[in-house]
Structure 1
Amino acid sequence: MTATSTEGPCQPWYRTLSMLALADPEDHVRELTDWMEHASARTEAPSAQSDWDDAYRWLRLAQGLRTITFDMSYDDGGMCSAGIDFDGVWTEMMEGWQLHHVRLGYLRAALEGFVRLLHPDAADPQQVIEAAGQQLHHRAEAWPLHAREVAEPLGGYSLDPMASGGKASVAAGVVQAIALHENAVQGRAGIPEPATDADARIFAAGHAEVCATKEACSVLLLGIQLLMAAANENRVAVFDDKYLLDGKWVPDSSGGSHWVDEEMPYSEYLAVLHLEPGEPPEL
């Protein structure tokens, strides 16, 4: 028996573009954390800075997450090679799946912390993100590229069969991302296992579950960006400029993009920090 690892259909088009591609969550959260380090809450509440720091620390945890280690082997001394191969593939699957799940939990805590700080009277994150989206509707320069596209497929993983029938929005995506996390916390998420084909080879499975959790992480990050973009004029102070060490493709008003390899205000960087830098233009 041979163990075979396959990637699976987990690369949406917005992650495979040569320019303006959405970064993977581990890169996305690093850039958002960098932005947060140059901002603070602008409010007279005595605990505001402490509350900001608490929410920031959850984001910092998500940024610091690198690997999750599993060992799914059932070592009873009499394991056949088929069982060893199965447990080896299962171990790799669980490491990838749980990496996204743990990050999802940290990002949910960060998002909900910033919502409580900036909108203490709000009932839930959906209400706040929806309002932020409406506020930014006519400000194309502040709306993160691919935000709605990331949110759209998450409705298919909702526990509520009616949830996927509505119009895609970042707020709806945030709700579905939180539902995915809650599903796992409450023990209702199915744990995927490797699959065996007719030739007795072991294949990694659970690609849909891994992909859904990965996109859920991205939509929570985009939700935080919308929250900050809508708030940064009167509720959040942003300092300094961002130096683009390696450069980045940035969308322009014509629908194309241009290469930026210099400083830009952190307030402007918020709208593009989630994009992959891409290759620089040929000289």
Structure 2
Amino acid sequence: MTTTRMEGPCRPSYRTLSTLALAEPEDHVRELTDWVEHASARTGVPGAQNDWDNAYRWLRLAQGLRTITFDMSYDDGGMCSAGIDFDAVWTETMEGWQLHQIRLGYVRAALEGFVRLLHPDAAAPGLAIEAAEQQLQHHADAWPLHAREVAEHVFAHSPGRGGSAAASIAAGVVQAIDLHEQAVRGRVCIPEPVADADAKIFAAGHAEICAAKEASTVLLLGIQLLMVAAVIDKSVAVFDDKYLLDGKWVPDSSGGSRWVDEEMPYSEYLAVLHLEPGEPPEL
């Protein structure tokens, strides 16, 4: 019988908090896509709105990604039960891994589109994010919560990388892009299930799946940081207010959290859109 090793999945602490937890990528990208839909470039460069819309469509594509279907079965007519189990577990692994890999590619395309528009002189996305970080040094309340922790986690999946540089979101973005490059160039090993002495088949590839997932997340947070800086310097305009239909926990000035169940400006929502709504407070 096929079973799964419980110790395998990687679950960063910022995804398990009771309040202010970081949302899953499919929810995170949906909220960021909604934000971009309610904003517009103000660069004054001819064709800027077309460039904005194209980057938005890459985000929209990432937001529309829900499932990837694989069938890794290789039935030669005489396969044993262990072989069937292996293929079934491998199929599930590939579906999870490739879902995050494909989302990573879409989000990278969106990030690079926004960078070309907002920082046309930047030689690489990481440099644009670094400039945004420097611009926001005195705007701590505008930083997306958990951004540095996500960058650190991406680095933790990269053997040989120093931990000190991971405090930089720009460095996390560079590492996420490198992870994507390694995959598209065929320089990563495809995860396969493992078997124990009793020929039971166990899922593998937990680290690879987590790395791709958190790499997508750090790129999404990089886009948010880029937009925060752009709103402050007025190169991006935001419209309307965000109505929090079901409410949401957001950070407060004391380092805790407060419950918001009303409208808030999209400019303020940018720093918290990636957080799980959480359960409302008891009345």
Q: TM-score range by the shorter chain?
A: over 0.9
In the other structure, the counterpart of 1:126 is: 126
Q: CA deviation at 1:97?
A: 0.3
* Equivalent-residue separation in structure 2 for 1:172 and 1:62 (angstroms): 23
Cα distance change on mapping 1:74 and 1:248 into 2, 3 Å: same
Paired residue secondary structure (1:3) = coil
In the alignment, the residues of structure 2 paired with residue 216 and residue 13 of structure 1 have an alpha-carbon distance, to the nearest angstrom, of 16
The whole-number CA distance in structure 2 between the counterparts of 1:70 and 1:102 is 13
Which residue in the other structure is 1:147 paired with?
Answer: 147
Cα gap change, 1:68/1:114 in structure 2, threshold over 3 Å: closer, same or farther?
same
Query: Mind listing any 5+ residue stretches in structure 1 that lack a counterpart?
Result: none
Shift of 1:155: 2.2
Instruction: Give runs of aligned pairs for residues 103-252 of structure 1, distance below 5 A.
Output: 103-158=103-158, 161-162=160-161, 164=163, 166-233=165-232, 234-252=234-252
**CA drift at 1:165:** 5.2
| Residue matched to 2:57 | 57
Matches of 2:179 and 2:86 in 1, distance apart?
26
In structure 2, C-alpha distance between the alignment counterparts of 1:165 and 1:254, rounded to whole Å: 27
Q: Does 1:34 align with 2:34?
A: yes
Alpha-carbon displacement from aligned partner over 1:96-131 (angstroms, at most 9, x marks no partner): 000000000000000000000001111111111011
Taking the aligned partners of 1:82 and 1:76, their CA distance within structure 2 comes to: 14
CA deviation string 1:214-241 (max 9, x = no partner)? 1101100000000000001311010000
Q: Contact conserved, 1:157 with 1:180, CA < 8 A, in 2? A: no
Tell me, in whole angstroms, the C-alpha distance in 2 between the residues paired with 1:198 and 1:80. 16
TM-score by length of structure 2 reads 0.96
After the TM superposition, which residues 5-20 of structure 1 pair with which residues of structure 2 at under 5 Å, given as runs? 5-6=4-5, 8-20=8-20
Give the aligned residue type for 2:185.
Q
How far 1:156 moved relative to its partner?
Answer: 3.8
Partners of 1:207 and 1:56 lie apart in 2 by 30
- Indicate if the aligned counterparts of 1:157 and 1:176 stay in contact, CA closer than 8 A: no
1:270 maps to which residue?
270
Task: Determine if contact 1:248/1:276 at 8 Å carries over to the other structure.
Answer: yes
Q: Is the 8 A contact 1:158 1:164 kept in 2?
A: no
Provide structure 2 residue ranges, at least 5 long, that are not aligned to the other structure.
none
Other structure's SS at 1:188 match: coil
Paired with 1:145 and 1:6, the residues of 2 have a C-alpha distance of 31
Partners of 2:271 and 2:202 lie apart in 1 by 39
- The percentage of counterpart residues that share the same residue type is 79
Q: TM-score, normalised by structure 1?
A: 0.96
* Structure 2: distance between partners of 1:182 and 1:164: 21
Q: Taking structure 1 as reference, are residues 208 and 21 closer, same or farther at Cα in structure 2, changes over 3 Å only?
A: same
User: In 2 relative to 1, CA 163–186 (structure 1 residues): closer, same or farther, beyond 3 Å?
Assistant: farther
CA distance in 2, matches of 1:168, 1:197: 39
Aligned residue type for 1:170: I
- CA distance in 1: counterparts of 2:156 and 2:163, whole angstroms: 6
C-alpha spacing 1:221/1:86, structure 2 compared with 1 (3 Å)? same
Q: Distance in 1 between matches of 2:221 and 2:97?
A: 21
Give the corresponding residue for 1:25.
Answer: 25
**Over aligned residue pairs, what C-alpha RMSD do you find?**
1.3
Equivalenced residues, count: 281
**How far 1:164 moved relative to its partner?**
4.6
Report the AA paired with residue 250 of structure 2.
V
Deviations 1:28-67 (A, max 9, x none): 0000001011001012111100000111111111000000
Query: Aligned AA for 1:131?
Result: A
Deviates more, 1:252-261 or 1:135-144: 135-144
